[in-house]
Amino acid sequence: MTRRMQWIYAWLLLTPAMVMLFAFTHFPAITTIVNSFFSTPRGRRPARFVGLRNYEELIADPTFWKVLVNNLWYATATIPASIGISLLMAIWVNDKLKGRSLVRMSFFAPTVLPLIAVANIWLFFYTPGFGLIDQIRMGIFGLPENSWLGQQETVLICMMVVTIWKEAGFFMIFYLAALQAIPPSYKEAADIEGASRWVFFWKITWPLLMPTTLFVSINAIINSFRLVDHIFTMTGGGPDNASSLLLFYIYEVAFKFWQTSYAATLTVVMLAILSIIAIGQFFFMDRRVHYR
């Protein structure tokens, strides 16, 4: 009897979380997959089953491939860069230096600011002619003005810079916490043994930071698919989709073009990509991580 009571108790505790999870995560995911096999309902025409036609359209859609490639470049550039910079910043502000809390705060500031507001400031930095970057280039170096966001070659890089700037401070906090959890006796022992700073970092600090790195890299990957706010404000995906990312394209297809089924199809692709990455990370990287 008490055993059964325990079961009921457990289920009662689980229910609220499960209801939320099913209502807002699993149910939408399943309806998305279902919708991707139907045509878009319009006022005069209801949805009908079309099988794989949405997926055929997806394979034939040059914009889809363009945003997918953009997103892969965006991920490969922003993930290592923001992790590397955040680690450097964390190591720097972990040392004893003057005005440490001020430096820490200024590194963390981008995280606190809303991305939309920040994007407007960056928009001014990039403005050709009288924007900050061009004023420096033209005033000090005598270079001609450059349309940073107006060229297909530079626009995606400009978006990456904003993302890295935004994310590095956030990840720094995690690294800083992890660094402070490393007992100082390790450093003392290494000093006695005569290990160089580099050897100490590579053999001791880095392995001990691995759980944090795993956590941070999962976040960075999710963000590289999720953080698109600044694209709305800064470029709207242009010129000619050169700065459009997968999620931004999904938004456009769903809420600008009102092709909800095709948007569902794109979402399925995104879900698949993210699940594969998540599974890969947990199964393969986990083995190389030492948890204490």
Partner 1 sequence: MKSIFKSLGLAASAAALSLGTAISAHAVDLQFYFPVAVGGKAATTIEELTAEYSAAHPDVNIDAVYAGSYQDTVSKALTAARGGNPPQLSVILSVDMFTLIDEDVIVAFDDIANTEEDKKWLSSFYPAFMENSQTGGKTYGIPFQRSTPVLYWNKEAFKAADLDPEKAPATWEEMVSMGKKLVKKDASGNVTQWGVRIPSSGFPYWLFQGLTTENDVILANAEGNKTNFDDPKVVEALQYLVDLSAKHGVMAPGIIEWGATPKAFFEGNTAMMWTSTGNLTNVRNNAPFDFGVAMLPANKRRGAPTGGGNFYVFKDSSDEQKKASVDFVKWITAPKQAAKWSMATGYVAPSPAAWETDEMKAYAADFPPALIAREQLKYAVAELATYQNQRITRVLNDALHAAITGKKSPEDALKAAQAEADRILSEYR
| C-beta separation of 53 from 265 below 8 A | no
**Which stretch, 135-143, 204-212, 221-229, 264-272, contacts partner 1 (CB under 8 A)?**
135-143
Q: Which of residues 35, 36, 163, 235 is near partner 1 by CB under 8 A?
A: 235
- Does position 151 interact with partner 1 (CB under 8 A)? The reply is yes
Judged by CB under 8 A, the residue of 91, 147, 187, 211 near partner 1 is 147
Q: How far is the CB of 263 from partner 1 (least distance, A)?
A: 12
Number of residues in the chain: 292
Q: How many angstroms separate the CA atoms of 57 and 288, rounded?
A: 41
Instruction: Return the biggest CA–CA distance within the chain.
Output: 85
Of 185, 216, 187, whose CA–CA distance to 201 is shortest?
187
Q: Please tell me whether the peptide bond between 239 and the residue prior to it is cis, using omega within 30 degrees of 0.
A: yes
CA angle 151, 155, 160 (to 5 degrees): 165
The residue count for binding partner 1 (CB under 8 A) is: 32
Residues 173-232 that bind partner 1 (CB under 8 A): none
Rounded (to 5) percent helix, strand, coil in the chain: 75, 0, 25
149 binds partner 1 (CB under 8 A): yes
Site for partner 1 in 28-47 (CB under 8 A): 42-44
Q: Is 288 in the site for partner 1 (CB under 8 A)?
A: no
Residues lying near partner 1 in the complex (CB under 8 A): 42-44, 123-124, 127-130, 138, 142-145, 147, 149-152, 235-236, 238-242, 252, 255-259
